Amino acid sequence: MRTGMTYNNLSREKHLIDPAMYSCDILIHNGMILTMDPLLKVISDGMIAIRKDTITYVGPKTASMTGAVTIDAGGGIILPGLVNGHTHTAMTLFRGLADDLPLMEWLTGYIFPAETRIDADFVYTGALLACAEMIYSGTTTFCDMYLFEDKVASASQKSGMRSLVGEVLYDFPSPNYGSIEKGFAYTEYLIQKWKDDPLVSIAVEPHALYTCSPELLQTAHAISMRHNVPLITHLAETHTELAEIQSRYGKSPVAHLESLGLLGPHLIADHCVHLNDSEIERLVQYQVNIITNPESNMKLASGAAPVSSLITRGATVGLGTDGCASNNNLDMFLEMDTAAKLQKIARMDPTALDAVTVLKMATCEGAKALGMGSVTGSLEPGKKADVIVVDTAKPHLTPMYNPYSHLVYAASGADVRHSIINGRLVMKDRQLLTLDAEDIMLRANEKAALVKQWVA
Amino acid sequence: MRTGMTYNNLSREKHLIDPAMYSCDILIHNGMILTMDPLLKVISDGMIAIRKDTITYVGPKTASMTGAVTIDAGGGIILPGLVNGHTHTAMTLFRGLADDLPLMEWLTGYIFPAETRIDADFVYTGALLACAEMIYSGTTTFCDMYLFEDKVASASQKSGMRSLVGEVLYDFPSPNYGSIEKGFAYTEYLIQKWKDDPLVSIAVEPHALYTCSPELLQTAHAISMRHNVPLITHLAETHTELAEIQSRYGKSPVAHLESLGLLGPHLIADHCVHLNDSEIERLVQYQVNIITNPESNMKLASGAAPVSSLITRGATVGLGTDGCASNNNLDMFLEMDTAAKLQKIARMDPTALDAVTVLKMATCEGAKALGMGSVTGSLEPGKKADVIVVDTAKPHLTPMYNPYSHLVYAASGADVRHSIINGRLVMKDRQLLTLDAEDIMLRANEKAALVKQWVA
C-alpha cells in the first residue's frame, strides 16, 4: 500500500458516541472501509452506522452496535457512493443510435432531429432508465443538463438518487420552453419548486458559449447569483468551439467567460479539454469547478483534458460520463479506469493520475465540484449516508493488494452489491428497491420505437 | 443499422440439412445471432445447433430442431466466443500489486523480484484464476506467454478453454528451465505433448528483441518452422525498446526482425505500437499477424498503435488484454471499448475504428491472427462451437438500436450469461461448470500471501 493510506489505528476512545446512538437504522459491517475523508482513512474491518439520512459512526467493528437493518458487506469494499458530475440522463434513449460518425453527421442526422420531437414523458422515461443504470453501477449522485428537467428531478426523487439538475438554456427555441425568456422563468420555477427537497438541487445551465449569446450567459449568471445556486456550462470541449469563439469574440472560451464576469467558485465547467497554461491558471485562481469526461472526449475525438495539470495546480476536478449518445454507458467505474489511462498516455507518463486521485474525483472531489462537499462524497459522521458496497469475492478482483487499484482498474459497475442513498437502501443484493427495472425497460423500448421513426 | 448488416432474409430452402441433424446435442435459440462470418450475417431471431464439438446449423429458428440441451438466449445476443490474443494469465496473481509507477520501478521493485520466485503451482493457480475470469467475461480462446506453460495448458484443458500457449524464451536464466537450451527443449516437449489436444496448441515464444539475442530468435524461428507452429514475440512496444534496438543493431525492431528472416505469416507480433509507414507496409506484405493491447499501452504509457492504418492496409489485427499487472483485468468487452476510443482520440477522428471492426478484432480477425481462423471466431456450420450469449435485458443495454455498438461501447464481461467452448457448456446462467471459482480464489489468496513476502 503505497499511496497515503492510514490503516485502522483509531482507538475506541476516539469513537465514543452517545449511548442512544448504539442503535441505528442501518448498520453496515464486515468490509474494508475507504472513507475518502481528508486523511483517506482506511478501516480494514469496519462498521458504519446510519440514523435516518445521516452517518453516525464510521470506525472499527464493535459488538455493541445494533441496527434495525444490517448489511453484511461480505468482506468487500465499503465506499462513498459515486458522483457522476456531468451527464444528460434522458439520452439513454439514444444509446447506440448513431456511433462512429463524423460529429456533424451525428448531430444533424440523428441527435438534433430526434431532440426536436421529445417531450416530458420521453425525458422522464429516459431519466428513470438512467437512474436504474446508475444505481446498479454504484452512482448515488448525478448532475444533469437537458430538457424538461422537472421530470429529471422527479425521476431522481422517485429513484431515491441525489442530484443537481438544470434546464439547458440556449439561443434557439427549445421543445420545452420555446423562447429563452420562458427558459429563464422555467429555471426560476425549478429553483422554487425543489428548494426544500432533500435529494434534488437545481442549477442554472446555459448550454455552451457557442450556443448562448453573451446576454444569455449574463442573465443565467445573474439568476445563479440571485438564488445562490451553481452555474453550469460546457467549456472548451472541442477545437471547433475554440475556433468559433475566437472568430466571434476574438477570445478563447475561458477569456470570453472571464470578460463576461462569469468565472468564480459558483461555476461548474464541463469538459475543459482545450486549455493553455494561463487558462488553467485562471480557472484555478477563480476557483472554477471542473468536470472531466474522458470516455466522451475519446469517443467524439475531442481531445484529452489537462486533468493532471489542473489537479496539481489546485483545481477541484470531478468526473462525469457525459450522455449515453457519446459513451455509451453511465458506469463510473469504467470512467475512472479511462480517466487514469487517458492521462497516462496523453502525458506519456505511467505515474500520471494515480488510482487514489481518480477515486477522489469520483467521490469527495466530485461532490465538492458540485457544491455538495459537506453533504456527500466521503464516509464521515455527520455526512448524509450515501454508501455503496463492492463485492470483491470474484476472480477478476482476486487477489487484492490495493483496494484503490481494484476499484479504478479492475472493477466494473456490475460489482456493486448494495447501495444506500440519503440513508435509504435503494439496492440490496443487486435488487433495485425504488424502481421497477422491467417496467422502465418496457417503456424505454416503446420510446425507442418512436425514435426509430423520427430518424428514419 | 448502418454498418454492413444483412438481416435475416434467408429462405428455409438455403438451410436444408441432413434429417439426422434435426436432433443435436445443444440447441441455442431466442436470440439475435451475430455470426461474424465473412458477410457479417445477422439473424434477428436465430437458432444454432451443435453436435459434439461442431456447429451444425446457424439460421432462422425452426420448430423441427431438437437438442439434448436447450439454451434460451432470452432475447439477447448470440455471438462467437471472444479471442484474447495476448495475455500472461498467471499474472492475475500480481493484479494491483504495483500500479501508477515508473516502468523501471514497477519492473525491478515488484514484478522481477516476484517472478524469480514463482513455480509451477503458482502458474497453475494464476492460470486457473484467469480462466475463471475469462469464461465469466465471454472469452473462449486465449493466447498466453509466460513461464511453466505446461501448467497453463493444463489449466486451459481443465477449464475447457481453447488456447495457444508457449514458454517465454529469453537470454537470461528462467525459473522454469534455467538455460536457453533447456528452454528450447521444453518448448519442443510442449509441442509433442499437446499436439493432439483438441483445445491446446503450442507456439514458440521468444520474449522480445531486447531480451533475446539474434541467435535465440533464429533458433526459435527454426523450431517454429520445423513444427509448423506460430512464432510469437513482443514487438515495438515502447520508445525505450526502439532506442535499445537501434543502439544495438542500428535498425528498428521491424527491420531487425526482417534482417533475421523472421517476418512471415507464421509470426504473431504483440503490441506494434511504434511503427512508421514503411514498417506498416512491410508487416502487411509479410502477412505478419498483429495483436494490439490498448489498455496496457495506455496504462504503461507506451503509446497508441496505428491500428486503423494497419487494418486499412490489409493487416490481420487481433485484440488482447495483456497481463493483469498492466490492465488490470481480462475483460475483452472493456478492451474493445478502449480499442475503439483510443484510435478515435489518437487520430482525432470519431469515425476511426468503428464498432463492427473492433468486434471483428475480438472474434474472426483475432482467431485468424492466431492461426485459428478455420476453427473459431465466427458462427458457421463446420466450425468448432465456441459461442457466448449476452443478456441484453438490462438498463445499460436498453434500448438497442445496434447490437455491435452495445457490445463494444456499453456492455461489460458481466453481461455474458452462457458460454460454450468446443461444444461443451462451460458457463450456464453465470455458473461455471468446469471450474470451482471459490476454491481457485482461496488458492490465489494463498499465493498472494507469498507474493507480499517476496516484495516486502
Instruction: Answer whether residue A319 shows pLDDT above 70.
Output: yes
- Which pLDDT score is estimated for B12? 40
Give the integer Cα–Cα distance in Å for A313 and A219: 31
Q: Is residue B438 part of a domain?
A: no
Nearest to A78 by CA among A58, A108, A63, A92: A58
B55 and B88 share a domain? no
Q: Does A446 touch chain B (CB under 8 A)?
A: no
H-only helix segments in A194-233: 214-227
- pLDDT over 60 at A431, yes or no: yes
State the Cα–Cα distance between residues B41 and B36, nearest whole angstrom: 7
Does residue A257 fall inside a structural domain?
no
Q: If pLDDT is split at 50, 70 and 90, which confidence band does A20 have?
A: low
Contact A354 B96 (CB under 8 A): no
CATH code, domain carrying B72? 2.30.40.10
The answer on B159 and B286 residing in a single domain is yes
**Interval B324-348: pLDDT, tens:** 999 999 999 999 999 999 999 999 9
**Domain shared by B64 and B104, yes or no:** no
What are the φ and ψ backbone dihedral angles of B387, each rounded to 5 degrees? Answer: -135, 135
- Can you give the length of chain A in residues? 456
Q: Is residue B380 part of a domain?
A: no
The cell numbers describing B16, all together, are 436444408
CB atoms within 10 A of CB B181: 10
Q: Cβ atoms within 10 A of the Cβ of B198, count?
A: 12
CB-based contact A342 B345, cutoff 8 Å: yes
Identify whether residues B238 and B333 lie together within a single domain.
yes
Residue A398 burial (C-beta neighbours within 10 Å; 0-12, 13-18, 19+): buried
What are A164's strand-pairing partners?
A: A143, A201
In percent, how much of chain B has pLDDT > 90?
90
- Give the integer Cα–Cα distance in Å for A246 and A224: 26
Return the pLDDT at B8. 38
Length of chain B: 456
Q: Is A87 on the interface with B (CB under 8 A)?
A: no
- CB distance from A326 to chain B under 8 Å? no
Region A181-210 average pLDDT: 98
Q: Tell me what percent of the residues of chain A surpass a pLDDT of 90.
A: 90
Distance from CA of A353 to the nearest CA of B (A): 8
What percent of chain A has a predicted confidence (pLDDT) above 70? Answer: 95
Confidence class for position B17, pLDDT limits 50, 70, 90? low
Q: Give the pLDDT confidence of A161-183 residue by residue, as tens digits.
A: 999 999 999 999 999 988 999 99
Note whether B259 and B280 are same-domain residues. Answer: yes
Contact B102 A3 (CB under 8 A): no
CA distances A116 to A169, A175, B388, Å, are: 14, 6, 39
Q: Smallest CA–CA separation between B305 and chain A, in Å?
A: 12
Torsion on CA atoms B395, B399, B402, B407, rounded to nearest 10: 0
- Mean pLDDT value of segment A209-232: 98
**Residue B294 domain flag:** yes
Residues in contact with B392: Cβ distance below 8 Å, sequence separation at least 6, in sequence order: B75, B76, B77, B398, B400, B403, B406, B415
All three cell numbers of B209, joined, read 528483441
Structural domain includes residue B26: yes
Residues B256/B245, Cβ–Cβ less than 8 Å = yes
- Amino acid at site A75: G
Q: Which ipTM was obtained for this model?
A: 0.95
Query: What local confidence, expressed as pLDDT, does residue B20 receive?
Result: 53
Domain range for B72: 12-80+387-421
> Which residues 262-301 of B have a C-beta within 8 angstroms of A?
295, 297-301
Query: Are residues B219 and B363 part of one domain?
Result: yes
> In this predicted structure, what is the pLDDT of residue A63?
85
Q: Is residue A247 part of a domain?
A: no
Distance of CA A175 to the CA centre of its chain: 25
Q: Is B196 in the same domain as B259?
A: yes
CA distance B66 to B329: 38
Q: Is the pLDDT of residue B197 over 70?
A: yes
Do B225 and B141 share a domain, yes or no? yes
Q: Do B72 and B89 belong together in one domain?
A: no
Note whether B329 contacts A: Cβ–Cβ < 8 A: yes
pLDDT band per the 50, 70, 90 thresholds, residue B182: very high
User: In this structure, are B405 and B358 located in the same domain?
Assistant: no
Q: Would residue B295 count as lying in a domain?
A: yes
Is A188 within a domain?
Answer: no
Interval A177-197 mean pLDDT: 96
CA distance to B90, B150, B186, B201, per residue, from B192 (Å)? 23, 11, 10, 10
Which range among A16-25, A265-274, A306-315, A411-420 shows the weakest confidence by mean pLDDT? A16-25
Q: Of B235, B227, B292, B293, give the one whose Cα is nearest residue B262.
A: B235
What is the reported pLDDT for A377?
98
Q: What pLDDT is stored for residue B160 in this prediction?
A: 98
Pairing of strands A139-146, A54-60: unpaired
**Average pLDDT score over residue span B30-46:** 98
Residues of chain A found within 8 Å of residue B437, distances taken between Cβ atoms: 394-395
Angstroms from A338 CA to nearest CA on chain B: 8
Across A103-117, B132-146, B260-274, least confident range = A103-117
Q: Cell match 470516455: residue?
A: A295
State whether B114 and B24 are in the same domain: no
CA atoms within 13 A on the CB side of B355: 27
Lowest mean pLDDT among A210-214, B100-104, B308-312, B369-373: B100-104
Mean pLDDT across chain A:
94
Task: Mark which residues 384-443 of B lie under 8 Å from A by CB.
Answer: 393-396, 398-402, 405-406, 409-410, 412-415, 437, 440-441
Q: What pLDDT is stored for residue A12 in this prediction? A: 40
Angle at A266 between CA A179 and CA A302, to 5 degrees: 75
B63 and B154 both lie in a single domain: no
Number of domains composing chain B: 2
Confidence of residue B18 (pLDDT cuts 50, 70, 90): low
Query: Would you call A100 and B349 a contact, using CB atoms and an 8 Å cutoff?
Result: no
With contacts defined as CB-CB under 8 Å, which chain A residues touch B347? 301
* CATH number of the domain to which B289 belongs: 3.20.20.140
pLDDT in tens, A83-117: 999 999 999 999 999 999 987 888 888 988 899 99
Cis peptide before A399 (omega within 30 of 0): yes
Could you give phi then psi for residue B5, rounded to 5 degrees?
A: -90, 135
C-alpha grid cell, residue A194: 425543489
Cβ–Cβ under 8 Å, residues B115 and B91: no
Nearest CB neighbour to A350, from listed B100, B129, B398: B100
Exposed/middle/buried for residue B372 (C-beta within 10 Å: 0-12, 13-18, 19+)? buried
